[in-house]
Amino acid sequence: MPRNLNRFASVAALLSLAAPCTSLASPAGPATAPGIPMFVNYALTVAQLKTNCKNEIGRAGKAAVSIVAVPARRRTFENVVVPLEDLSADANDRLVAETLLGQVSTDRATRDASLKCLDDVNNFFTELTARPELYRAVADAAASATAKSVADKKLTSLWLVALKRSGAALAPKARAEFVKLNQRLNALQTQFAANLGNDTTTITFGAAQLAGLSDDFIATFKKNGDDYVVPVNESTSGRFMQDAADPQARKTFYLADNNLGYPKNVALLQEALNLRDRIAHLIGYGNWAEYVLADRMAQRPARVRNFLADLDQKLLPRATADLSTLAALKAKDLHVANATIDPWDTTYYDNQLRKTRYAVDSDEVRKYFPVDHVERAVFDIYAKILGVRFTRRTPPNGWVSGLTQWAVTDAKTGRYLGDFYLDLFPREGKYSHFASFTLLPARRRADGTLRPPQDAIIGNWPQSAPGKPALLTHGDVETFFHEFGHDMAAILATAPYETLSSGFRQDFIEAPSQMLENWVWDPQILKKLSAHYETGAPLPDTLIAKMRAARYVNHAYFTTRQIMLATIDMDYHTGGPNVDTTAIWDAVSAKDTPLATPPGVHPQASFGHLMGGYDAGYYGYLWSLVYAQDMFTAFQAGGLESPEVGARYRKDILQPARTYEPDQEVTKFLGRSMSPAAFYKEFGISADRSPAGATR
């Protein structure tokens, strides 16, 4: 999942970009690797942070005055659109640290000040992009036909659409309301994420309740007398739910995990849904989903619903059979004739099925994935495919100890391409999931050279047990491989403007990284990714064969869960004001999956996508998978580590980023139009017809 704090929330939504917000400073001192990255000062005091934020907003405001002051007849791409793009990009570049620290700082006061800065900047851009005089200036510049290159024309088009969708064409009274509602919405979204980052929920269990958990996992928990204090977060939930043998312990953990952020975040979400509905009506749409999708590949909610419903109808019988298999396993485990699977059972019995029928023990597999080796191996694989090299730097002033920084250069020319950071383990107050944050998107300087980008992968891998290296599940490896795909997309983009280089259309943005997930299932790639933490031996062929045989175990059931989440998102954003978020969740889960959500939980309170740029857009994970699996066929034909296919992928998909529409880029890369056949094949379904709308 990419995060884009840099294209600030209001602008990001309008331009359909998806990448977090980033402080411009002077170049660093002598570099320890080729190229000199732009220096960003993350060691800010709260006072400095506040002052920098205020000053940058003031600078941007003055720049906006100069843009609209250009006489109508003299307005061109160079004196209107370029300064507007620079205004936005400069604000991002100068406020990297000021807005990122809210997600990563170890100090609560710094995080709070950073989140306040993000709100202030978002509010400024909400008001700025709603100004009718700015919209007229860009419209005049567009009419001048002075944008000559493809990138210049695309940039002009995107800004025109963004300004119109921001309320700039509304009557004064409606525009004022539009701005006020959006500013409140910005604050709600920021607070929602902060509540999750600051959530410190723990559960105290007795030793007997932890039966099934490995000793090294238990060793990471704090002791309270003879009991253990288990944190409820992304770094613990997967392993706990798949290994805890005590059903009551699993239920207790499940209930806590599915109530993170409750009740505060349910109230924030409800208010946000009300605001979004009103905003959509102000701008002339029937609901928020219509407003959002009008600028996406899908275009209309009906196309999304048809796509989801068609897939769900085909998968439900298989999903029901999946749960029946798990229920039989539970019955055997409990020595009863029949058993019913509860929501806190699915992950556990899925793991038991893999252990018994497929002989794949997740704890045994973890021994082959020590963090340091996985990092190096992922770097080596990407380096070969994409023709790049990685060199470690010492961060001059990283935001936390343990942070690593890497320079990226082109393997053939030695040209410096950019830098990225890795911040991979959990801590209190940190962003609670796993994502790639584009800090400084690629950008053309005044002298015509390209300013190298910077990115950060921020995640929450399991902590290591005392005296042992941190070990990853195969799922952790897959997630890192996916997010590193986003990271490389940010680093290798060469579009001249930040608006073009910092992402793709929202319902395509996951496709490149989803495509790359296929690599971690290839036998030769798995050999390279693995090294037993004690012996250094790679995964044995027999275990790899078993892992591959179990790849699609319960795939239908877990996919219906994704369909459920996407449908809930659509229902929330087409249901008008005052929707009952819990009632909708319960109804959709009962309809679209074979296992309804139990009473007493509020998973919407921690469904960060709804308040983090994927509102009315969660369908994009399945939608973009159609493109991902088709793009993968090029590597299947040419070789997963083929530098030639990798070079085409880099040139046709990653470098242009948003300069062209996704269908254009995919067609160029494949040499033909997109086909959904590979997508359906993954599910064992005949592609008797294209998924509704997931074509051009």
User: pLDDT tens digit string along 408-463?
Assistant: 999 999 999 999 999 999 999 999 889 999 999 999 988 888 999 999 999 999 88
Distance, in Å, from the CA atom of 508 to the CA atom of 491, rounded to the nearest integer, reads: 18
Instruction: Encode pLDDT of 283-292 as tens digits.
Output: 999 999 999 9
Residue 467 per-residue DSSP state = T
pLDDT exceeds 80 at position 146: yes
Strand partners, 18: none
Confidence at residue 446, expressed as pLDDT on a 0 to 100 scale: 84
Structure tokens at 534: 């004690």
Confidence at residue 684, expressed as pLDDT on a 0 to 100 scale: 85
What is the band of 14 on the pLDDT scale with cuts at 50, 70, 90? Answer: very low
- The answer to whether the beta carbons of residues 223 and 250 sit under 8 Å apart is no
Confidence at residue 28, expressed as pLDDT on a 0 to 100 scale: 36
- The answer to whether the beta carbons of residues 368 and 530 sit under 8 Å apart is yes
Structure tokens at 369: 């994935």
As a whole number, mean pLDDT of residues 635-639 equals 98
Helical ranges in 198-293 per DSSP H: 215-218, 234-243, 247-257, 264-283, 288-293
Structure tokens at 549: 């045989």
The separation between CA 546 and the C-alpha centre of its own chain, rounded to angstroms, equals 30
DSSP-based three-state secondary structure for 391: strand
Q: Diameter of the chain by CA atoms?
A: 84
Distance, in Å, from the CA atom of 242 to the CA atom of 363, rounded to the nearest integer, reads: 10
**Domain 10-197, CATH:** 1.20.1050.40
Structure tokens at 265: 């975040």
Place of tokens 């907003």: 57
Per the prediction, the chain carries an average pLDDT of 93
How big is the CA angle at 157 (ends 515 and 306), to the nearest 5 degrees? 45
Instruction: Encode pLDDT of 30-74 as tens digits.
Output: 334 568 899 999 999 999 999 999 999 999 999 999 999 999 999
- The answer to whether the beta carbons of residues 373 and 531 sit under 8 Å apart is yes
Measure Cα distances from 380 to 175, 383, 384, 437, 634 in Å.
Answer: 52, 5, 6, 22, 21
Confidence at residue 687, expressed as pLDDT on a 0 to 100 scale: 63
Confidence at residue 25, expressed as pLDDT on a 0 to 100 scale: 36
Distance, in Å, from the CA atom of 168 to the CA atom of 32, rounded to the nearest integer, reads: 47
Distance, in Å, from the CA atom of 557 to the CA atom of 608, rounded to the nearest integer, reads: 22
In this structure, the chain runs to a length of 696
Confidence at residue 638, expressed as pLDDT on a 0 to 100 scale: 97
pLDDT exceeds 90 at position 636: yes
**120-129, 309-318, 368-377, 687-696: least confident range:** 687-696
What is the band of 627 on the pLDDT scale with cuts at 50, 70, 90? Answer: very high
Distance, in Å, from the CA atom of 592 to the CA atom of 617, rounded to the nearest integer, reads: 18
- The answer to whether the beta carbons of residues 466 and 500 sit under 8 Å apart is no
pLDDT exceeds 80 at position 3: no
pLDDT exceeds 90 at position 250: yes
DSSP-based three-state secondary structure for 471: strand
483 is annotated as an active-site residue: yes
Confidence at residue 691, expressed as pLDDT on a 0 to 100 scale: 47
**413-427, 525-539, 655-669, 681-695: least confident range:** 681-695
Confidence at residue 688, expressed as pLDDT on a 0 to 100 scale: 54
As a whole number, mean pLDDT of residues 269-275 equals 98
As a whole number, mean pLDDT of residues 375-396 equals 96
Ramachandran area for residue 383 (φ above 0: left; ψ -120 to 50: alpha; else beta): alpha
Distance, in Å, from the CA atom of 33 to the CA atom of 391, rounded to the nearest integer, reads: 6
Domain map (residue ranges) of the chain: 10-197, 202-257, 301-358+554-618, 371-549
As a whole number, mean pLDDT of residues 6-18 equals 42
Residue 188: partners with Cβ closer than 8 Å, 6 or more residues away: 268, 271, 272, 275, 611
Confidence at residue 590, expressed as pLDDT on a 0 to 100 scale: 96
Residue 381: partners with Cβ closer than 8 Å, 6 or more residues away: 519, 525, 528, 529, 641
- For 371-549, give the CATH class: alpha beta
As a whole number, mean pLDDT of residues 342-368 equals 96
Instruction: Encode pLDDT of 126-145 as tens digits.
Output: 999 999 999 999 999 999 99
Higher per-residue pLDDT: 216 or 30 = 216
Choose, from 98, 290, 375, 483, the residue flagged as catalytic.
Answer: 483
pLDDT exceeds 80 at position 217: yes
Residue 451 per-residue DSSP state = E
Confidence at residue 36, expressed as pLDDT on a 0 to 100 scale: 87
Pairing of strands 388-393, 202-205: unpaired
How big is the CA angle at 409 (ends 407 and 414), to the nearest 5 degrees? 135
- The answer to whether the beta carbons of residues 541 and 40 sit under 8 Å apart is no
Distance, in Å, from the CA atom of 387 to the CA atom of 460, rounded to the nearest integer, reads: 29
- The answer to whether the beta carbons of residues 676 and 626 sit under 8 Å apart is yes
- Report pTM: 0.92
Given CA atoms 407, 411, 412, 417 in this order, what sign does their dihedral have? negative
